[in-house]
Structure 1
Amino acid sequence: MFAIWKTQPKDSNKELMNALKTKTIKDELLHNSVPPLTAFERDIVKEITRSTQIHNESNITRTNKYLAFYNTYPEIEWALLAHLVSRNSGWSMTDLKGEWLSKLLSEKEQKNYFRLLERANWLIFQDAYPQLLLYHYSLQHNQSLFHLLSHFNVSRFMEPIWNYFLDKQDRSTLSTALIMNEQHYIEKRVIHNPFFKQAVLDTIDFKIQEWLGLTQILFPFANKRKQNEIHFSGHTVHQFASISSRINFGKELYATLFSNSKRLRSIVHWAEKHPHTGSRKDYWPHLFHTVRESPPGKLSIKLERCRIRKGATRIYSPPLNIAWEIIDHSPSSPDDWFTHWDLASPLLTPPTSTEENMKEAHCEALSKIELAVAAKQIIFHRKN
């Protein structure tokens, strides 16, 4: 399958290797076909369909399965990235019912924002988890089963990518391809969905969230000597509606996550020791609490340099199962995003990252949102 690659000398330069890799994958895409299923393959498809449906129940179940898969197959680095990004999605969902956004947004706006986050989270798992399970079964049966991807409406782009990974164990290329695939997968189904575009993405309130810094992705980890002292890696999202920006952002997150092995171990350790609940209390219990400790309508500034002011109560951040009910999803359209080869161009650029001081950025974002809520309440009281 990859004979053209295997004939190259080991000292081939990076540019040539990328070109050969691209040609190899492109050739396989052009000769893609779907053979009839055997009884064995039908059983695999049935089991994966059943398992995906069970574990795609909520943000909690999805997030947990990503981490469990990574712990079993750490070579699939995207699974850890998916776990951490999905954690952040859960925090964003509960923020809508938490201390501050529940005062800034109407009930209808909260529900619309939640539906967007939940739909994207559901769609990505619906597309990605069958791929992960096919990797599991391919190893278990010592044969590639990725020709079955089409039976889960996964883009034809991914079959040669996975087969290339089986052959070369190129973690970076696989992770980049999965990032590209999932962002393209939600592009038409969420980002350009007429309802989400009008009700959320084109609204002033959504654009204000970027200004407030509420579109951060945090990778918490503990100080080895001081386990209660939490640090953050990660980055801040910009231009969420742009697919090229989202793909580049995903590549940057991936590069950051796996750029420091010592920090990576700390991030994984923290994730394993702190089950995902959706509450921001998971990482900062000194600031957040799952119980509302102050009256809902009371106006007060609680934060001072990322600490709770003396005499103030902690910030309300409910667990996901308290904030939102589990919802049913309509099936996704079977359209394939991969329509021309130019869409695969991000594969040619390796993931790179620049470090951000996420602890400082996160503290600043929290202060901004608190001041925005206080300003709105002051204006409201003056009018009344």
Structure 2
Amino acid sequence: MFWTKKKTPSLSPMLLEIKNELKKKRKGMSNIGKEANLAMEEKRLVQQITAQTKEKNENNVTRTAAYLDFYKRHPEIHWAFLGHMVSRNGGWNMTDLKGELLLYLLTEKEQQSFFTFLERGNWLIFQDIYPQFLLYEESKKRRKPLFYLLPMFHVSTFMETIWNHFWYYGDPSILTIALVINEQNYLEKRVIQNPVFQKSVLHTIEFKLQDFLSFNHILFPYEDQQGKTVLIGQTLHQFHSLHERILLGKRLYSLLFQNNDTLEKVVRWAFLHPHTGTRKDYWPHLFNDVCESAPRQPYRRRIKDCQIQPGVPRIYSPQLLYAWKNVVHEEAERGDWFEDWNVVEYLAESNGQINGEITNAYCETLEKMELAIIAKNAFFHSR
């Protein structure tokens, strides 16, 4: 068992039902369907969903937009909006690698390694989850569940059980948390435990430096009544921990959906600000997608209390379109992560309100990065 809970939570009758169903599935996991056994109409549907997924999985911007479009059509699928907002953060992290701050701290090779790591994870999640969404959409059209087709997309048997449960009971919380569990387990062996990423990213000093600087902030912007952009969010300190990533996903879900007023504000912001990848999308007073700095000028501090100091340029934060080329990915690694039905314990809702205050921590991070740049420059100039 990979989680570290000291006490097993008592499961509700609904979760006990899911647990018993997963126990049965675990015993019969060899009975996965084959495409040869499908009717012609089912084969066409599988091909159609595969093609649509590939089309939308071009880059972080297209994926992020696809999640939001799906949420507009099906607001009962809460993960679609949670995924949209988290994917926005993935895009911001990608463009940070070509932005003004990290350009001073990372080599070109390190930038490329970090981007490949982020892009692969973003791509993998989409190609696993978007077919699930499209199959749900088609099930609604036909007014009958089609989740027996999920194995055609190599989706975990865990999610087949969850989608069937959602179809009959319609509990958005269980579905959302299940999708969080699924995506993080799906990434675990394919990205986090991947030897190449372990060596080139996860074990590098720079990654540990980012962790130390709390650079793993997930930000959710919205506008207050005065039109000022407010940031809420959470910070992940132990990226290597599957348990911590799942708990983070649950906290982020609570933060977005525990309060309807907050949700409406963040959704409104997302609709009004199409995702481009630049941090200018939410803080144009601090970031710009055009470089304002003079070339070869030594870096000097610009940020104080989340404001640009008078007379200095804003921080360069490019759009994704100009920062990185589209990537042609190798096919996703096969295999079902689901081995232990005790993951059901994660489906129990967390108690208590989540405090989303993150602005101060995020501003401190930016200022620490500036200090790191200045210290690095001073070190090399003194040699």
TM over 0.5: yes
Which amino acid is the alignment partner of residue 151 of structure 2? S
The one-letter amino acid of 1:166's match is W
Q: What CA distance in whole angstroms lies between the structure 2 residues aligned with 1:181 and 1:352? A: 24
Write out per-residue CA displacement over residues 322-353 of structure 1, whole angstroms, 9 at most, x where no aligned residue: 11111110001111101232344312454765
Which residue does 1:115 correspond to in 2? Answer: 116
Partner of 1:328: 328
CA distance in 1 between partners of 2:261 and 2:15 (Å): 29
Deviations 1:344-372 (A, max 9, x none): 43124547652032111211111111111
Q: Distance in 1 between matches of 2:351 and 2:155?
A: 23
Runs (5+) with no aligned partner, structure 1: 1-12
Distance 2:113 2:296 in 1: 23
Q: Is the 8 A contact 2:145 2:164 kept in 1?
A: yes
Q: What residue number does 1:10 align with? A: none
Distance 1:25 1:195 in 2: 33
Q: Contact 2:11/2:348 (CA < 8 Å) preserved in 1?
A: no
SS of the residue aligned with 2:356? coil
1:202 alignment counterpart: 203
Question: TM-score, normalized by length of structure 2?
Answer: 0.93
* Distance in 2 (alpha carbons) for counterparts of 1:52 and 1:110: 27
Aligned-partner residue type, residue 222 of structure 2: F
Describe how 1:1-384 pairs up with structure 2 within 5 A.
15-27=12-24, 30=27, 33-35=31-33, 36-223=37-224, 225-227=225-227, 229-298=228-297, 299-350=299-350, 353-383=353-383
Deviations 1:37-56 (A, max 9, x none): 11111111010000011000
Deviation at 1:289, TM superposition (A): 0.4
Structure 1 residue 34 displacement after superposition: 4.1
- Give the secondary-structure state (helix, strand or coil) at the position aligned to 1:275: coil
Distance 1:25-1:348 versus aligned 2 partners, 3 A rule: farther
Contact 2:288 2:314 in 1 (8 A): yes
> Cα offset for 1:234?
1.2
Contact 1:251–1:351 (Cα < 8 Å) also in 2: no
Partner secondary structure for residue 231 of structure 1: strand
CA distance in 2, matches of 1:187, 1:14: 26
When the two structures are superposed, what TM-score results if normalisation uses the length of structure 1?
A: 0.93
Q: Is the 8 A contact 2:15 2:344 kept in 1?
A: no
- Whether contact under 8 Å (1:81, 1:254) holds in the other structure is yes
Highest RCO, 1 vs 2 (Cα 8 Å, sep ≥ 6)? 2
SS of 1:301 mapped into structure 2: coil
Cα distance 1:176–1:193, how it changes in 2: closer, same or farther (>3 A)? same
Judged with a 3 Å threshold, the aligned counterparts in structure 2 of structure 1 residues 181 and 109 are, in CA distance, closer, same or farther, namely: same
Q: Equivalent residue of 2:157, what SS?
A: coil
- Over 3 Å counting, the alpha-carbon distance change for 1:273 and 1:351 in structure 2 is farther
Aligned residues: percent identity? 47
State the SS of the aligned residue for 2:382: helix
Q: CA deviation at 1:209?
A: 0.2
341-350 or 264-273, which moves further after superposition? Answer: 341-350
Deviation at 1:17, TM superposition (A): 4.0
- What is the aligned residue count? 369
Contact 1:52/1:130, CA 8 A, preserved across alignment: yes
CA offset digits 1:199-249 (Å, max 9, x no partner): 0001111011011121000010001x222x111121001200110110111
After TM superposition, give the deviation of residue 18 of structure 1 in Å: 3.1
Give the 3-state SS of the residue equivalent to 1:157 in structure 2. Answer: helix
Q: Secondary structure at the match of 1:235?
A: strand
Write the distance in 1 (CA, Å) between the matches of 2:377 and 2:180: 40
CA contact (8 A) 1:29 1:160 kept: no
